[in-house]
Amino acid sequence: MTEGLFIAAITSPLKVENEASRISSILENGKADIVHIRKPGWTLHETADLICEIPSIWHGRIKLHDHFELLERFQLAGIHLNNRNPEPHPLAKSISKSCHEIEQLQESEHYDYVTLSPIFDSISKPGYGKAFALEEIRDSLVGHKVVALGGVSPEKFSLLKAAGFFGAAMLGYFWK
């Protein structure tokens, strides 16, 4: 199913019914290697409550996009840097980062991987179209651990692998 790609699931920014169980199921059933908790409007307390509902066996496969100080409370996989939170936390074991331009891939050597988006037309954000043509970015991916984001679904894994992506990240596919 994964075409040999690293797979990341990204949570919906909104509250989702039975979200903790769904996150656990995604990890338990091998649908993703890691889950990114991306809840930009959530408080520290709300984010901590969600993590508490997820069995601790899965905490080592969860990355935070916000409230990095929760690393002091939970044994999580790490953090994902973005425009809201561009600075790493000293306790982060694994750090990834969002990229939206090919030139930003040069920074990828400082991170475990970077996400590049949008690769395809978004599933979760109607009207948010792809910004790259796979055939045009292929050479830029060489030597970098780049995870495709934006409109990604399993049907596109073989295209992503052939283009040279390290992995695929999915939001809309898991939550829509």
Cα separation of 80 and 66, whole Å?
Answer: 8
What is the arithmetic mean of pLDDT over 24-42? Answer: 97
Q: Over range 2-26, report the average pLDDT.
A: 94
Start-to-end Cα distance in the chain? 20
Predicted confidence (pLDDT) per residue in 54-88, tens digit: 999 999 999 999 999 999 999 999 999 999 999 99
pLDDT tens-digit series, residues 132-157: 889 889 999 999 999 999 999 999 99
What's phi and psi for 163, nearest 5 deg? -80, -15
CA distance 7 to 73: 26
Is residue 25 predicted with pLDDT exceeding 80? Answer: yes
The full set of domains in the chain, from first to last, is 6-175 (3.20.20.70)
pLDDT at 2 over 70: no
The CA distance from 154 to 159, in Å, is: 10
User: Which residue type does 104 have?
Assistant: Q
